[in-house]
Homo-oligomer: A and B are copies of this chain.
Amino acid sequence: MTVTLGVDLGGTKIAAGLVTPGGVVTRQRSAPTPAAEGPEAILQTIVDLATSLTASAPGVVIAGCGIGAAGVIDPVSRTVQFATSSLPGWAGTRLGAEIERRLGMPVATVNDVHAHAIGEAVHGAGRGERTVLVIAAGTGIGGALVIDGVLQAGRHGAAGHYGHVPATEAAGLSCTCGGTGHLEVIASGPAILQAYLRRGGTEPGDTREIFARADAGDALAAEVIGVAATALGRSIGGSINSVDPDLVIVGGGLAAAGSRWWNTVESQARAEAMGLLAGCRIVPTSLGANSAIVGAASLINTAAPALPNTASLTP
Q: Show the binding face of A for B, using Cβ within 8 Å.
A: 72, 81-82, 130-131, 145, 147, 152-162, 164-168, 171, 177-179, 181-182, 234-235, 237-239, 241-246, 271-272, 274-277, 280
Contacts and interface: CB of A to CB of B under 8 A. Distances in A.
B168 A155 contact: no
Given A167-B166, A168-B168, A235-B166, A277 B243 contact: no
A103 to B, nearest CB: 28
A18 to B, nearest CB: 31
Given A164-B238, A165-B242, 12 more contacts: A81-B276, A130-B155, A152-B243, A155-B246, A156-B244, A157-B244, A161-B241, A165-B165, A177-B274, A177-B275, A179-B237, A179-B272
Given A153-B244, A241-B165, A274 B131 contact: no
Contacts of A274: 158, 161, 164, 177-179
Given A153-B244, A244-B155, A272 B82 contact: no
Contacts of A147: 147, 152
What's the number of copies of this chain in the assembled complex? 2
- Interchain residue pairs A-B with the least CB separation, the first 5: A154-B244, A165-B238, A159-B244, A161-B241, A164-B241
B167 A276 contact: no
B164 A245 contact: no
A55 B92 CA distance: 61
A276 B82 contact: yes
A157 B246 CA distance: 11
A74 to B, nearest CB: 10
Contacts of A164: 238, 241-242, 272, 274
A234 to B, nearest CB: 5
Most buried by B among A165, A168, A237, A242: A242
25 contacts: A81-B276, A82-B276, A130-B155, A131-B154, A154-B246, A155-B244, A156-B276, A158-B241, A158-B277, A162-B241, A165-B165, A165-B238, A165-B239, A165-B242, A166-B167, A166-B234, A166-B235, A166-B272, A168-B171, A168-B181, A179-B271, A179-B272, A179-B274, A181-B234, A239-B242
Contact of A275 (B178, B235, B280): B178
Given A164-B238, A241-B164, A131 B156 contact: no
A77 B184 CA distance: 39
A177 to B, nearest CB: 5
A130 B75 CA distance: 13
Contacts of A171: 168, 171
Contacts of A275: 82, 177-178
Contacts of A280: 155
| Centre residue among A156, A166, A280 by max chain B CB count within 10 A | A166
A224 B141 CA distance: 32
Most chain B CB atoms below 10 A, which of A156, A157, A158, A160: A158
A158 B72 contact: no
